[in-house]
Amino acid sequence: MNSNKEKLIKYESFIKIIENINTPKFNRILLNFFEEKCQIYFTSILQENKNEYNEKCCEDLLLGISLSYLKKSIEYLYDNKDKNYNIILKLLAIAFIKTYCYYYVEINFSFLDKINWKEINEVFYDIDDEENQYIRNVRNIYLWRLYYSKFENFEQFLNYRGSYISTFKVMN
């Protein structure tokens, strides 16, 4: 048996074990692990751009492959919201969305003119259907929380006219 096949068998066994441990505490540990891995992805993009939020860096962080992963993550959660299996993939999708949202807010708040927001906003302003309203609301609350952390008080937050807060649809 070659070493790649042996590794694959070990990973499959490991994934089966993880899938059977479906407790809130363990899921939180996995989510933190996946968030760290997603953060490494985004940090590597920043490092490639010498930690400067220039136009190329902002596009690399939020468009292209990153936007594709965001779309796939959101779609996966929409398609599997009522299913109780593949918790690993759900947690990975959530971790990527959370990390993407962090950079979305960071760039939108401080580097608004460095990127064309049309394609990104189309993903965040996805179809209004009742089935996925809960997932959208959680995402919106998380984004608002990230924006709020940028301000000294709630009044400043309410008066902010950034593209996300001022134009995003109010939740039902």
Domain count for the chain: 1
Residue range 36-70, pLDDT digits in tens: 999 999 999 999 999 999 999 999 999 999 999 99
Question: Secondary structure of 84-122 in the HEC alphabet?
Answer: CCCHHHHHHHHHHHHHHHHHHHHHHHHCHHHCCCHHHHH
* pTM exceeds 0.85, yes or no: no
Residue 89 located in a structural domain: yes
Range of the domain at 134: 3-167
Residue 30 located in a structural domain: yes
Residue 16 located in a structural domain: yes
Residue range 136-153, pLDDT digits in tens: 888 888 988 898 898 888
Identify the band that residue 111 occupies on the pLDDT scale cut at 50, 70 and 90: confident
Residue 172 located in a structural domain: no
List the one residue out of 58, 61, 80 whose CA is nearest residue 70.
61
Note the pLDDT of residue 171.
43
